Structure formats: structure tokens, C-alpha cells
Structure 1
Amino acid sequence: MTKLLYSFKLALIFFLGFTVQLKAQKIQEGLPFENKSKNLSQKNAYQRGNNGIYLKDFNQEALQRTGKIRCYSVEYNEQLRKNNPNFDRDFEAWIAKAIAKRRRDIANGNASTRTIGGVYYIPVVVHVIHNGEAIGTGSNISDAQVQDQINVLNEDFRKMAGTPGWNTHPEGADTRIEFVLAKRTPAGAATNGINRVNRNTLPNNATNWQPGFEATYINGTIKPNTIWNPDEYMNMWTVQFGGADAGLLGYAQFPESPIGGVGCGAANANTDGLVMGYQYFGRGLGGPYGDGRTATHEIGHGLGLRHIWGDGGCGVDDFCADTPTAGAANFGCPNVNSCTDTPVDFPDMKENYMDYTDDLCMNIFTNDQATRMRTVIENSPRRKTLLTSPALLAPATNYGGIVDIVSPLGNVCGTFTPTVILRNLGSNNLTSATISYQIDGGSTQTFAWSGSLAYKATANVNLPTQTLSTGNHSIRVWVSVSNGSSHSSDMYVNEIISNFSVGAGNSLPFEENFESNAFPPTTGTLSKIL
């Protein structure tokens, strides 16, 4: 990957847009695709238990150097998509187009989604799989340890000043992604976002306890029997790994594109999430991996990031132009330049969360990595729905929320009808709501809706027709009264802003005779197309 001088921002922006289009074109045209992990021969590969899975060379090296398998996501996801061998190619083609469109929308002032430019809040449930110990003992980790891991994630993803997640790198990004322990169970009851499960209550646990569990049992039994709706929760499991997986730190499931999943369907929904060894979930736990960065790394995978060495080496791409190329995984906290690049030969970004360095060496997601993750959250199945999850809101009896704007989006005509999606987030049926809205930050207007919505049900609501002048505009919408009860707009699930533009357009009927050399044409006689 060509590396550009950090100071040449304008050149970098141009290059990024060109690179995204070029890579998408290469994929579509069937040209060589670079993101392929090295295939290891059985002679040199380390086989894990009886499941027939071979470790990649970088994980073999990790095991030899540290006695730990830093990240098992690549091997795990290859197993998931064995029935969809084109997943990598299709996913990268899709996300390249999605990122290019996102950049165009932002540049044109048409960023029309819940919080583009703002903060994305992700509801989390942590399933603590334990062996019957008292809370705070062994694998039954304390509430404080769980919260400490959430704090680490937010420090890292938000690049918080005064924390280990802060950096001064010119490409260091505040991803504007935050994690919130769920406030509701799937049934709507109050929760602290921690679900404790005694492993002795799970099917066939005794025959699979070694002590600890291998990933095969975790994926096939623990996850499906404990997962909360992955459309509404980011599921995390803390476990005791055992058997062939005793040295494993964690792994995550990659996101899917809207055009197809890792298994050509939704069959993998009941395994979606992040699995962590309980000894590495939190901060101050001792050793090189005891400060919570394995979870940061794995969530990066869950939001679409690849290892900085592209799982191959200097000639393999991680699809982020501002991460210097790397020849392999780095360990410890070395100063190394493993690849030769032009025009400037930057060293390996050992501080990147997607490397294999020690936890206290890591402190950076780059701007391109942030863009990639936010694009996944905005578009990917079981990622985009997290932004409007009821789990972000404490239980309520009467609560309606605006979860999306159907119109206006992008470019619209001067006269249009705003359409929003109203969702019932309260336990009572929603029969009436006052929808408040502002155009261009002006005075608050209201619209009275009536109907009947059960818990979690939605309805499209048309607001009064608006006529605006040519130019850029915004609309902010929220619910202020539900079933006669007033409530404030909630930053998580009951407020949305859409930025859009009104074009000059052409009055109808529009006629064009196609005789002019100008494009777009300025005159014409076309009045009907048959």
C-alpha cells in the first residue's frame, strides 16, 4: 500500500477516494485479490484438538513466543464462511462502495443517518460463564471488572485524554463509538447488562469440561443457549478456555454485508459476538495482556477491521491507507520497520490496536479504521440495528421514540413530506404521541399521532408538508409526549437529525430535444417517454 505523508491531507483525501474505487473495480473485474491469509501446510501447522482447524502462521508464532493465542478470529471466521468462499471479496467490494458513498454524502452535506458526525452508542450484554464460584471469584468475575472493561473500550474508541487510550498521532482517531451496558433484558425487564450463567446448567457441559471449554463447544452450545437478540445487543462472553484452546485470549465474529452473510444466510446470527478469556477481560489483571486491549482488538474485528499486516505480509492489504504496511504481527513493543514503502518509509504502527503487541503498547485506531467501523455500524446487518435498540433505554411504561427518517434524505424537491419511523419503546401499547420537530434549528413544531403500537412495533408517520428554499437544510425530530406522559428526548433512541439539500430542479413538464451539445442540457422539447 502506498503510504502518503501525513501532512499532505488534501492529497491523502484524493488518494483514499481513488483507492477505494480502484479496489472495488479490481474486485468486480476479477483481478487478483490481495487479502488472502497464508495457507500453511499440514506439516508446519499446529492442529487444534480434534476439530481439524489449523492455526495461521502468525498465531503459531504467538503461541511459540508467548504461550498464548492472541486472536483466533481469522481461523474462526474461515470456518463460518466455508460455505461462502467469496465472502472476503464480496465484503470488500461492498464496503469500498459504502465508504465512498459515505464520504460523498459528508462532503456534500447530505449525511443522513442517526448520528453521522456524532456518537454511536452500542448496547452490550456480558454473559459471564462461570463454574459456580462466588461472584468476584475465579471465572465468576465481578460487576466492577466488567464495568472496568467497558471503561477501557470507551477510553480506546474515544481516544480519551488522560487515559491509556490517548495518543497524539496525526492519524489517531476518536472513532465516536461508545459502549453501554444494556439497561433492558430482551423481555423488557431492568438489567445491569451482566448475565451470569453457571456452566453446569448447560447441555453436555460435563463431557466438554477439560477444565475449561474449547471454542467448538462455546460456538455450538454456549452461544446459542445464552445469546440475547443480536439485532439489539452486542453479545460478549467471558469464559474459561480449556483443552486445545487453553492458551486462547479471545475471538470475534466478523460483520456481514447487506448482500450476503458469512454463511450465505442468517444461520450465524446465534453465534454473533465476542468471546474472551475471563482472565483478560478488564484492567490491572497482570501480564502483557491484562489491561483490556484484547477486547478492543476483537471488537475491531467485529466492526470490520483486519490485522494491520493484512494476515499475509508486506504485499497484503488491510484496506486502511493510513496504517503503514507490516510484514507480520509484532510482539512486545518493538521499534521495527518490517516493510519498505515509498515515497516515505514509515515504521510499523506497533501502537495500533489491530497488531499483536502488549496491551500497554497499544493506543491508536486510525482515521481510516474509524471510517471503516462507522460504515459497518451504519449499514451491516446486526450492527445498524444496535443504534436504535430498546436495550439502550431503561424500562418505561409509556415511551415512543423516533428511530429513523425515511424522508427527506439526500437531495429533495423544494416541497416534500417528512416521513419518520415511530417505535413503541414502552411496555404499554402506544396509542398517542406528540412528535416534535425543528427545521434548520428554528422554532419547535408538533404533530399529533394516534394509533396502536405494541411493544417494539413501528409505524411510518408523515409530518406536515414543507416547502424550503434551494440549499442545505436539516430536520430534527423526537417524541415529546407518549400516551399523555411527557418525557425528554433520549440521546440513544429518541432523536434523529437528517441533513439534506433542496435543488433548483426543473418545473414540469420538462422538455428536451437533445440538439444541444451542453450537458446537462439547458433547453429541450422532450415531453413523453414511451
Structure 2
Amino acid sequence: MVPHMSKKNSFSSLVVIFLITFATTGVYAQILSFDKCGHHLVMETYEKKYPGFKEAVETTFENVRNIKNSGFSRNDVYIIDVVFHIVWKDSRENLHDSIILNQLAVLNKDYRLLNENRNEIRSIFKDLQTDAKIEFNLKEIIRVKTNANFQLSLSGLPDNVKNASEGGSKAVTPENVLNIWVCNIRPIPFIGGQILGYAYPPAGLDNWPANANAPSPGLDGVVLDFRVVGSNNPNILNVQGMDYDSHGRTCVHEVGHYLGLRHIWGDGGGIFGGSSCSVDDGMEDTPNQGEQTGFSCNKTRNTCTDVSNDLPDMLENYMDYSDESCQNIFTEDQVSHMRKVLENQRKGLIESQVNTSEINNYSFIKVSPNPGMGEFTIHYTSDSRVLLYTVYDISGKLLLSANPENDKQFKVFVSPGIYYINIIDVKGISTSTRFISY
């Protein structure tokens, strides 16, 4: 995903520092000294490990495009349960709950078209801006202290973060839950290269070639570097003197891949630049774009001028590599594609949905009533005592923090809004849930 460079550094100073060649397979993986999103590396790595992976992803993508009428209402709001795995080695990596909740708020705002910068879209693209009607509900925050390193290598990605036996954290029911791992993604030793995150796109398993093995379901989800989570993160990622200014949209971008979207330029162009306008992202309402934008908010940029009905590059799109501060749009076709993926390849994420009054049944926390009118009774159903509870609003702002006198049941009072309560018990178990006041 997209890093924003401090003004003292320009994108033109960023050079390619190496090109990995997998000589035995003829596969080339390209990594910049500050590569934003590991999507290309995901595709190449798993094509090498599981021949036919790229074909399966491509076939799945085309199958989704060809679904004319899913039978689902476009007004349905799909709620995806999310588990954050905070896998940390030093205290900086053990992100505070407020940062995780802030990241969740960014996801919800951007996917519901409630982002503060939504009106900064250019007029030529305004009518394409679409509410995805997809929300993200925090099911759990799992914290794992580790001695392991999570490092890019010549053979691929740091998926050991998803394996408990290798110092990581095991996925929670990946067919029903979006797992997001947060760790320190380390560059390749002596060579360098940094990615901010990566995700696995949906692959239709029925389309796999004979004798081809799908990647383990336990690998499915999103991985983020701990320094790019949330917009209130005090940790700054610096590579070769260049700072990344997080707005929490690395996660927005990677979840887009997880829900089946491609980069807006269709991964044409390559790292050495140049136009590749014949390569497309498969969306009818995104303009042709020859290459990634690359840290820019230059709204005069147009990399494909030789096509009919020409439009400038849509650098406001979350699936570009533009400055996060100017991103504010999923298009109607992109939204339709993600929703069809949820209704088909990732239907397990929404099949288990319950109504709002039951949304807190996922954890040890029971909130009654939910939704309610300002006064809520909180009941902790675990066999352990409550050590501390905290209440945050949807922006991640801490509102309440207390050690309840009654360690199993207590009341909280809030004004209208959406809130998250987190409880830490005496065993150190942390669990959260959402409640709504109207």
C-alpha cells in the first residue's frame, strides 16, 4: 500500500535497488526500496509454490465479473467480523487498543463513504463515488509476544506470522472471519526492500488445475507492518530517510485485495515506469492508467492519453499507489465486485451474520440492551475477573477507563453513537465488542 513521503524527499529520488530473479522457474519478483503493497509478490510467490495459482485467481475474478444478478439486495449492509493479531517482539510493536480501534474506524468510514475527505473528489469522478455498505466489527484482539522475526526473503513472504509454532498467531476460523496480522515486516537482509502490507485475493478452488494445491486456508487474510496501522500511530516507518505518514489506508487497500480488487492500473507499467494502457483492472468505470501514481496527489496526471473518452488518472482511488491523504473513492463497479465476492467466494464472512441486537455474542462480553438509549449493562461471562475495562468511540478516542467494583457486571453511560468496549481480565485476556447508543 501507499506510503506518503515527507516533503523533504521526492519520489524521483526513489530508485530500484534490486531485482530478484527466480532462475529455476523464470519468475521475476520486483521490489522497490520502499514498496507499498506486496500483492505482486503474493502472486509470484504462490505461482511458484502452487502452479496454477495466478490462473485460479484470474478465473475467479472473471467469474465474479460475469455474475449479472446475485439475488442479494444492494441495500443490505454486510458486516465482517475482524480479528486483529498483534504479534510483537518489542514494546513499540505491541500497539495500544486505541490504535487498533482507530484503524477499524478508518475501515468503516472509507467503506461506508463517511470519510472526512470524501468531498475532495474531483467533479468528473463524483458520481462514481459509492458507499460499499460493508462494515467491520471487531471480534477480538489477540496479542502474542514472540522472539521470531517476520522477514521478506528471496523465497517469499513472512507467513510465519500466521503459524503459532513459528512464533506467530494461528488464524481464527478464516472462512468466517477476516484475520489481520500486525507485526514488524523486516526487509531482506543485506539487500533491503520494504513492503507495508499484503493480502491474499480470493481463488475459486473449483477452478484449480489438476494436482495443484491451494494455499492453506490458515494463511488467508491481511498482514500489516505495525507502523502503518491507524491514523493515530506514533510509530513512523522510515526507509533511507523517507517517512511514511499513515492515514490508516494501507489496511483499506489490502482489504480491497482480500475482497477481490486489483490495483487500479492493472499492474501494468512495471517498476521502471512507462505506459501500459492495454492492461486493465477489470472495472468499467475506472479510467485507463498506465502505471501506479507513486506518492503523488498531482491531479493533472494522465498516463493514458491515447484512448477514447480520455480521463485523467483516478489517483483518489484506494487501489492506487497515491498519497493516502488524497484517497477517497471506491467506484460503483469496485463496490459491486467486492459485494459479489462476499456473496460467493467469501460468503462465509456474511453467512454467519446476526442481527444488531446479537452482535456482541461473539465474545465474553454481553451488552444489554444493544442497541440502547444511553445506559448499558455490561456482563463479563468468562470465569476470570475483570481487571480493567475501557470504552472508545468510533474514532478510537478513549472515553472511559475503570476497574469495576463488581468484577462481573457493571453499567456504562454514553451519548448517541457507536462504541467499543474492551475488557482485560486478570489472566491478561483481552476481548472487545461493539455497542450502539441512539
Q: TM-score, normalised by structure 2?
A: 0.64
How far 1:213 sits from its partner (Å)? Answer: 3.1
Question: Which amino acid in structure 1 is aligned with residue 220 of structure 2?
Answer: D
Question: Which amino acid in structure 1 is aligned with residue 216 of structure 2?
Answer: N
- Describe the superposition over 1:423-472 as per-residue Cα deviations: whole angstroms up to 9, x where unpaired: xxx99xxxxxxxxxxxxxxxxxxxxxxxxxxxxxxxxxxxxxxxxxxxxx
Residue of structure 2 equivalent to 1:326? 289
Alignment of 1:487-498 (within 5 A): none
Of 265, 290, 305, the residue aligned with 2:261 is: 305
Q: Distance in 1 between matches of 2:119 and 2:310?
A: 26
Larger Rg: 1
Structure 1 276/284 Cα, relative in aligned 2: closer, same or farther at 3 Å?
same
How far 1:396 sits from its partner (Å)? Answer: 8.5
Residue of structure 2 equivalent to 1:72? 38
How far 1:351 sits from its partner (Å)? Answer: 0.7
Structure 1 84/166 Cα, relative in aligned 2: closer, same or farther at 3 Å?
farther
On the 8 A contact 1:45/1:54 being kept in 2, the answer is: no
For structure 2, the residue ranges without an aligned partner over 5 or more in a row are 1-15, 237-242, 269-275, 365-380, 383-433
On the 8 A contact 1:258/1:379 being kept in 2, the answer is: no
**Partner SS state of residue 203, structure 2:** coil
**Partner SS state of residue 104, structure 1:** coil
Question: Which amino acid in structure 2 is aligned with residue 214 of structure 1?
Answer: L
Q: How many residues are treated as equivalent by the alignment?
A: 318
Alignment of 1:165-244 (within 5 A): 167=121, 169-182=126-139, 193-200=140-147, 205=148, 209=149, 213-214=151-152, 219-225=158-164, 226=169, 227-244=171-188
On the 8 A contact 1:250/1:294 being kept in 2, the answer is: yes
Residue of structure 1 equivalent to 2:322? 357
Q: Distance in 1 between matches of 2:143 and 2:120?
A: 32
Q: Distance in 2 between matches of 1:376 and 1:342?
A: 30
Structure 1 48/249 Cα, relative in aligned 2: closer, same or farther at 3 Å?
farther
How far 1:89 sits from its partner (Å)? Answer: 4.3
Structure 1 171/217 Cα, relative in aligned 2: closer, same or farther at 3 Å?
closer
How far 1:228 sits from its partner (Å)? Answer: 1.4
Q: Distance in 1 between matches of 2:208 and 2:177?
A: 18
Question: Which amino acid in structure 2 is aligned with residue 150 of structure 1?
Answer: L
Structure 1 48/235 Cα, relative in aligned 2: closer, same or farther at 3 Å?
farther
Q: TM-score, normalised by structure 1?
A: 0.54
Structure 1 73/124 Cα, relative in aligned 2: closer, same or farther at 3 Å?
same
Structure 1 241/87 Cα, relative in aligned 2: closer, same or farther at 3 Å?
closer
Question: Which amino acid in structure 2 is aligned with residue 330 of structure 1?
Answer: T
Residue of structure 2 equivalent to 1:117? 75
Q: Distance in 2 between matches of 1:267 and 1:89?
A: 14
The answer to whether structure 1 residue 394 and structure 2 residue 361 are counterparts is yes
Residue of structure 2 equivalent to 1:276? 224
**Partner SS state of residue 81, structure 1:** helix
The answer to whether structure 1 residue 150 and structure 2 residue 104 are counterparts is yes
RMSD: 3.5
On the 8 A contact 1:219/1:271 being kept in 2, the answer is: no
Q: Distance in 2 between matches of 1:146 and 1:352?
A: 23
On the 8 A contact 2:205/2:214 being kept in 1, the answer is: no
Q: Distance in 2 between matches of 1:354 and 1:396?
A: 33
Q: Distance in 2 between matches of 1:355 and 1:54?
A: 22
On the 8 A contact 2:93/2:183 being kept in 1, the answer is: yes
Alignment of 1:4-83 (within 5 A): 46-47=19-20, 54-56=28-30, 59-60=31-32, 63=33, 68-82=34-48
For structure 1, the residue ranges without an aligned partner over 5 or more in a row are 1-42, 106-110, 183-192, 398-425, 428-491, 493-530
On the 8 A contact 1:46/1:54 being kept in 2, the answer is: yes
How far 1:254 sits from its partner (Å)? Answer: 1.0
**Partner SS state of residue 308, structure 2:** coil
**Partner SS state of residue 221, structure 1:** helix
Residue of structure 1 equivalent to 2:303? 338
Structure 1 268/152 Cα, relative in aligned 2: closer, same or farther at 3 Å?
same
